[in-house]
Structure 1
Amino acid sequence: MSRPAVKPAHPHSRHGHPGSKPQVKELVPTLKRLAGYLARRKGLLFLVVLMVAASSALGLLGPYLVGIAIDDFIITKDEKGLVLLLALLGVVYIFYSLATFLQSYWMVGVAQKTVFEMRTELFTHLQQLPLSFFDKRQHGELMSRVTNDIENISSTLNSSVIQVASSVLTLTGAVIVMLYLSPMLTAITLLIVPLLYIGMKWITSRTRRFFKEQQRHLGELNGFIEEAVSSKHIVKMFSQEEKIALAFNERNAKLKETGFWAQTYSGFIPKLMNMLNNISFALIAGAGGLLALHGYVTVGVIVVFAEYSRQFTRPLNDLANQFNTLLSALAGAERVFDILDTEKEEEQADEFPLHHVRGDIEFRKVSFSYEKGNETIKEVSFKADKGDMVALVGPTGSGKSTIINLLARFYDPDNGAIFIDGYNTSTIPRQELRKHMGFVLQDSFLFEGTIKENIRYGRLDATDEEVVKAAKSANAHSFIMKLPDGYETKLQSEGSGISQGQRQLLAIARALLADPAILILDEATSSIDTITEMHIQEALNRLMEGRTTVVIAHRLNTIRRADQILVLNQGRIVERGNHEELIETEGHYASLATASQL
Structure 2
Amino acid sequence: MGMITSAWNSLKMLESYDKSKYKEMRYCAILALISTAVLYTIPYICGFLLDWMVESVSAEQSLDIDYLLDVCTVILLMVVLWYVASNESKRRMSLIALSMTRHMRESLNRKLMRVPVSYIDNALAGDMSSRFTNDIPAVSKLVSSDYTGFIAHLTMIVSILLMMLISSPVLGLIFLLMVPVVIFIGWRISTRSERDFSEMSVKVAELNSQMNDIITTHKTMKVEGLESEVVDQFKRTNRDFTSAYVKSHTRSGMLNPMVSTMMNVGYLLTVIIGAVMLYYHNMPVGMFLTFMIYVRVMSTPLLLTVTLFDSIREETVSLNRIMDVLNAPEEEGEDTDGDFRITDGVIKVEDVSFSYNGDRKVLKGVSVEFVPGKVYAVTGSTGSGKTTLANLLMGFYRPDSGSITIDGRDIKKISREELGTNLTAVLQNPWMFSGTIRENIIYNRSDLGEEDLKEVASLTGLDSYVNELPDGYDTAIGEESTYIPLPQRRLLALSRALIGDPKILILDEAVAGLDPIRGQSILDRLLASKSGRTIIIISHNQALIEQVDEVVHLEEGTVNSHLLDVNAS
Q: What are the residue-to-residue correspondences of 1:369-384 with 2, within 5 Å?
A: 369-384=355-370
Taking structure 1 as reference, are residues 512 and 349 closer, same or farther at Cα in structure 2, changes over 3 Å only? closer
Would you say 1:290 and 2:276 are equivalent positions? yes
How far the C-alpha of 1:38 sits from its partner, in A, is 6.1
Q: What are the residue-to-residue correspondences of 1:311-330 with 2, within 5 Å?
A: 311-330=297-316
Q: Deviations over 1:491-536 (max 9, x none)?
A: 2239752222222222222122111111100111222344554554
Consecutive unaligned residues in structure 2, runs of 5 or more: none
Q: Which residue of 1 aligns with 2:253?
A: 267
Q: What are the residue-to-residue correspondences of 1:439-478 with 2, within 5 Å?
A: 439-457=425-443, 459-478=445-464
Aligned residues of 1:442 and 1:525 also touching (Cα < 8 A)? no
Question: What is the aligned counterpart of 1:303 among 289, 296, 309?
Answer: 289
The worse-fitting range, judged by mean Cα deviation, of 146-155 and 499-508 is: 499-508
Q: Which residue of 1 aligns with 2:189?
A: 203
Q: Which residue of 2 aligns with 1:276?
A: 262
Question: What is the aligned counterpart of 2:213 among 211, 222, 227?
Answer: 227
Q: Which residue of 2 aligns with 1:388?
A: 374
How far the C-alpha of 1:45 sits from its partner, in A, is 3.5
Aligned residues of 1:354 and 1:433 also touching (Cα < 8 A)? no
Q: Which residue of 1 aligns with 2:35?
A: 55
- The 2-side partners of 1:438 and 1:39 are apart by 39
Taking structure 1 as reference, are residues 142 and 554 closer, same or farther at Cα in structure 2, changes over 3 Å only? same
Aligned residues of 2:461 and 2:518 also touching (Cα < 8 A)? no
- The 2-side partners of 1:45 and 1:384 are apart by 56
Q: 1:319 is paired with a residue of what secondary structure? A: helix
How far the C-alpha of 1:178 sits from its partner, in A, is 2.3
Would you say 1:15 and 2:3 are equivalent positions? yes
Aligned residues of 1:363 and 1:418 also touching (Cα < 8 A)? yes
Q: Which residue of 1 aligns with 2:159?
A: 173
Q: Deviations over 1:476-500 (max 9, x none)?
A: 2333233233222222239752222
Q: Deviations over 1:531-590 (max 9, x none)?
A: 5545544554455454221111032222111222222221112233255566xxxxxxxx
Provide TM-score, normalisation by structure 2.
0.90
Q: 1:15 is paired with a residue of what secondary structure? A: helix
Question: What is the aligned counterpart of 1:336 among 286, 309, 322?
Answer: 322
Q: Which residue of 2 aligns with 1:588?
A: none
Question: What is the aligned counterpart of 1:511 among 481, 488, 497?
Answer: 497
Q: Which residue of 2 aligns with 1:485?
A: 471
The worse-fitting range, judged by mean Cα deviation, of 126-135 and 51-60 is: 51-60
- The 1-side partners of 2:43 and 2:508 are apart by 77
Q: What are the residue-to-residue correspondences of 1:183-202 with 2, within 5 Å?
A: 183-202=169-188
Taking structure 1 as reference, are residues 504 and 46 closer, same or farther at Cα in structure 2, changes over 3 Å only? same
Q: Which residue of 2 aligns with 1:431?
A: 417
The worse-fitting range, judged by mean Cα deviation, of 33-42 and 237-246 is: 33-42
Taking structure 1 as reference, are residues 205 and 547 closer, same or farther at Cα in structure 2, changes over 3 Å only? same
Would you say 1:255 and 2:235 are equivalent positions? no
Would you say 1:358 and 2:358 are equivalent positions? no
Q: Which residue of 1 aligns with 2:398?
A: 412
Q: Which residue of 2 aligns with 1:152?
A: 138
How far the C-alpha of 1:252 sits from its partner, in A, is 1.0
Equivalent pairs counted in the alignment come to 562
- The 1-side partners of 2:525 and 2:568 are apart by 27
Aligned residues of 2:336 and 2:415 also touching (Cα < 8 A)? no
- The 2-side partners of 1:528 and 1:468 are apart by 20
Taking structure 1 as reference, are residues 511 and 486 closer, same or farther at Cα in structure 2, changes over 3 Å only? same
Q: Which residue of 2 aligns with 1:240?
A: 226
Q: 1:396 is paired with a residue of what secondary structure? A: coil
- The 2-side partners of 1:326 and 1:239 are apart by 44
Aligned residues of 2:157 and 2:302 also touching (Cα < 8 A)? no
Letter in 2 for 1:216: V
Q: 1:551 is paired with a residue of what secondary structure? A: strand
The worse-fitting range, judged by mean Cα deviation, of 389-398 and 45-54 is: 45-54
% same residue:
28
- The 2-side partners of 1:43 and 1:14 are apart by 24
How far the C-alpha of 1:377 sits from its partner, in A, is 0.7
- The 1-side partners of 2:560 and 2:204 are apart by 47
Would you say 1:67 and 2:47 are equivalent positions? yes
The worse-fitting range, judged by mean Cα deviation, of 84-93 and 440-449 is: 84-93
- The 2-side partners of 1:429 and 1:494 are apart by 35
- The 2-side partners of 1:64 and 1:562 are apart by 92
- The 1-side partners of 2:513 and 2:293 are apart by 78
The worse-fitting range, judged by mean Cα deviation, of 320-329 and 337-346 is: 320-329
Consecutive unaligned residues in structure 1, runs of 5 or more: 1-12, 18-23, 583-598
Question: What is the aligned counterpart of 1:123 among 104, 109, 115?
Answer: 109
Aligned residues of 1:141 and 1:223 also touching (Cα < 8 A)? yes
- The 2-side partners of 1:89 and 1:428 are apart by 68
